[in-house]
Structure 1
């Protein structure tokens, strides 16, 4: 992997709320730089922590990044769950709302970044653009993770990259849904795994399916 992260980009990454270890973050940025110019798609924005790095890499690669999230949090972000953050709750509605916290990231990267505020099941009904890079980091329930993979992975072009975050083969370490996505991609999705960085898996489309 090549490329470096400018200090101001890294500062924005570290100051943005979210969940990504630093070693995986650096790997994400470096791997993304290897993707071709075109459309990159991120599923799961939260407050935009990984978006900061993908947008910077997209700018360097001559690509455009689209990030999709309904901004009300995944299951594990809801009250009573381990990853619930009370500072992200909208006092007027009582609901988790990460969109205002993501706005600075969107504004800082408006030259390469577009945001779709919607459920992936809705976006999947109209998305038709070829994708050079797909980063799956949305809801990690089995149903939603499989939906997001099967809805958007077919749009990855030949030679394009599929990145899956929070992959834990051992159930003791975390949820299994992203791991099952990787298994499906390798088994019948036309992808081969070409990199592993902590819980981040990198796959490349090697053949067309269907």
Structure 2
């Protein structure tokens, strides 16, 4: 039986920009805190670090490591003129960037020794990755091409009994984009996974 760890947030998580509910965050924490000691997890899409805090705290509890993969230039929906653009995240070069905000969040949460920030696209880092993973969290670009590329880049690295978490899984287009639920359905249809957690728009699957 895995150990049970209580979530204690070291920062005011509501002050961190992001699109994750607290219930979803708690589920990610529990998932990461069930990793074997010394395991490795990968987060695809960190934004300003809200989900990274939950995952990082879970990894810290088990002496595991979290690779937080993000180019920090935002997805399609974060660009100027798009629905989720935040003008406060424009850097001194005039470009959209979440990197400085992310670094402040991780440092404030005391996770510098647990979270390894990877400034890269998901596919680029996957090409260089060697080894198996206890957890992969997909919350990167929400176009169909981007979501499918993230899934296909990392699914082969998830160990037996490892977890695949997918955010923004909405059954209907009126609630949100359909790329994440397409990946979710693809993972289930592959016969490689079973669903073990469903919280708000978060789905967590376990590798068979």
The TM-score bracket by the shorter chain reads over 0.9
Contact kept, 8 Å, 2:40 with 2:133, in 1: the verdict is yes
C-alpha distance in 1 between matches for 2:199 and 2:164:
14
**2:127 aligned counterpart, secondary structure:** coil
2:136 is equivalent to residue 134 of structure 1: yes
Give the drift of 1:127: 1.2
Give the equivalent residue in structure 1 for 2:102: 102
C-alpha distance in 2 between matches for 1:194 and 1:152:
19
Give the equivalent residue in structure 2 for 1:20: 20
Give the equivalent residue in structure 2 for 1:89: 90
Give the equivalent residue in structure 2 for 1:125: 127
Distance 1:72 1:189, change over 3 A: farther
Question: 1:193-208 to 2 correspondence within 5 Å?
Answer: 193-206=195-208
C-alpha distance in 1 between matches for 2:36 and 2:105:
23
Contact kept, 8 Å, 1:146 with 1:181, in 2: the verdict is yes
For structure 1, the residue ranges without an aligned partner over 5 or more in a row are: none
C-alpha distance in 2 between matches for 1:36 and 1:134:
14
Cα deviation per residue 1:135-155 (whole Å; 9 max; x = unaligned)?
111111100100000101110
Distance 1:119 1:7, change over 3 A: closer
Give the drift of 1:31: 2.5
Contact kept, 8 Å, 1:39 with 1:129, in 2: the verdict is no
Cα deviation per residue 1:98-132 (whole Å; 9 max; x = unaligned)?
10111123333121110110112211221122100
Give the drift of 1:36: 2.4
Give the equivalent residue in structure 2 for 1:65: 66
C-alpha distance in 2 between matches for 1:50 and 1:23:
11
Poorly superposed stretches of 4+, deviation over 4 Å: none
C-alpha distance in 1 between matches for 2:5 and 2:114:
18
Give the equivalent residue in structure 2 for 1:149: 151
Contact kept, 8 Å, 1:106 with 1:114, in 2: the verdict is no
Give the drift of 1:189: 5.5
For structure 2, the residue ranges without an aligned partner over 5 or more in a row are: none
Contact kept, 8 Å, 1:106 with 1:115, in 2: the verdict is no
Distance 1:188 1:84, change over 3 A: same
2:182 is equivalent to residue 180 of structure 1: yes
Give the equivalent residue in structure 2 for 1:30: 30
Distance 1:7 1:65, change over 3 A: closer
**Which deviates the most, 101-110 or 180-189?**
101-110
Give the equivalent residue in structure 2 for 1:114: 116
C-alpha distance in 1 between matches for 2:9 and 2:118:
28
